[in-house]
Amino acid sequence: MPMLNRPRRNRSSAAIRTMVEENRLSVKDLLFPLFVMDGSATKTEIKSMPGIYRYTTDLLLKEIEECLNLGITSYALFPQVAEDRKDSRATESHRQGSLYLEAIHAVTSRFPEISMLTDVAMDPYSSDGHDGIVRGGEILNDETLEVLAKMAIAQAQAGSKLIGPSDMMDGRVGYLRESLDDAGFTNVGIMAYSAKYASAFYGPFRDALESAPKFGDKKTYQMNPANSREALREAELDELEGADFLMVKPALAYLDIISLLRDNTNLPIAAYNVSGEYAMVKAAAANGWIDGEKAMLESLLSMKRAGAQVILTYFAKEFAQLKLS
């Protein structure tokens, strides 16, 4: 049977497969989310996220040092806030001397060479567990922006060079950009959670922060999983308002959205490989149903292939250790 074209020739050996592979995953593509908590000399494993811990600030610094030695240079930091520090206006989020601001200062002072994304959203600090101010059961958009601006400026003062507004309030990127600029922080970047979906994959993260909503859900501000064109609208607005990165969250269930944004902007695209996606792989691997290491690599590569230039993933340290082994 005469065939001039035989694609299998380019798959015939490991050397040829490596030579022609279209996407290569590097530890430099990865951003490692970390959790900080009150106390000292303590770390606690998050049960729904095997291998992932909350750290007190002193141990957080040691963890980052260890990860730096593995080649991980980018991080995201999230706080577990005590219940007695929470209120309806998230005042703890911008209080000088708070756990999170002190942790940001400690990390950025000790490791000025790293990139650290800091989180701008009310839910870890809110007694309502929502990303905005609640009144009469409604999430208020414009009043929330004032709180987010205070938070962003406080984080910049603590040493943050890259903020991540994860709240999905309308107009927040422009409001934060203007507020940061007016406060003299023109060099602080914004990684906008542009297409953040109302997803079932966030459960373990909310366990880690103990930040689940006290009532209802987040569907009036996070996006409908049925929609893709709406993501273009959100991304376009964020870009026009001054975002430096556009993020898709979650990642694995939204590869089409990553690709869609990649094809419609020149800004870097970030993808958040969220807690539930991580937990599924870990649970299946623990039961012997899949090869966890291969599933991790395939999942991360799919995000890179879809167009993500930055991948936020709880697999970052495991990936880095694998590459050095």
Domain 24-324: state its class.
alpha beta
pLDDT of residue 164: 98
pLDDT of residue 211: 72
pLDDT digits (tens, 9 = 90+) for 252-262: 999 999 999 99
Q: How confident is the model at residue 249 (pLDDT cuts 50, 70, 90)?
A: very high
Percent of the chain topping pLDDT 70: 100
pLDDT digits (tens, 9 = 90+) for 153-188: 999 999 999 999 999 999 999 999 999 999 999 999
Tokens encoding 287 = 């039961």
Instruction: Give the catalytic positions in this structure.
Output: 196, 249
Residue 120's nearest CA partner among 89, 150, 81 is 150
Q: Is residue 234 part of an annotated ligand binding site?
A: yes
pLDDT of residue 205: 85
pLDDT digits (tens, 9 = 90+) for 111-168: 999 999 999 999 999 999 899 999 998 999 999 999 999 999 999 999 999 999 999 9
pLDDT of residue 124: 93
- When pLDDT is averaged across residues 54-79 and rounded to a whole number, the result is 98
Per-domain residue ranges of the chain: 24-324
43-45 vs 310-313, strand pairing mode? unpaired
Count other C-beta atoms under 10 Å from residue 15's C-beta. 8
pLDDT digits (tens, 9 = 90+) for 268-302: 999 999 999 999 999 999 999 999 999 999 999 99
Q: What is the rounded distance in angstroms from the CA atom of residue 74 to the CA atom of residue 32?
A: 6
Tokens encoding 168 = 């999905």
If DSSP codes are grouped into helix, strand and coil, which group holds residue 39? coil
Integer-rounded Cα Rg, in Å, for the chain is 20
Q: What is the rounded distance in angstroms from the CA atom of residue 244 to the CA atom of residue 192?
A: 8
- When pLDDT is averaged across residues 241-258 and rounded to a whole number, the result is 98
Judged against a pLDDT cut of 80, whether residue 1 lies above it is answered with no
Judged against a pLDDT cut of 80, whether residue 210 lies above it is answered with no
pLDDT of residue 170: 97
Task: Return mean pLDDT, the chain.
Answer: 96
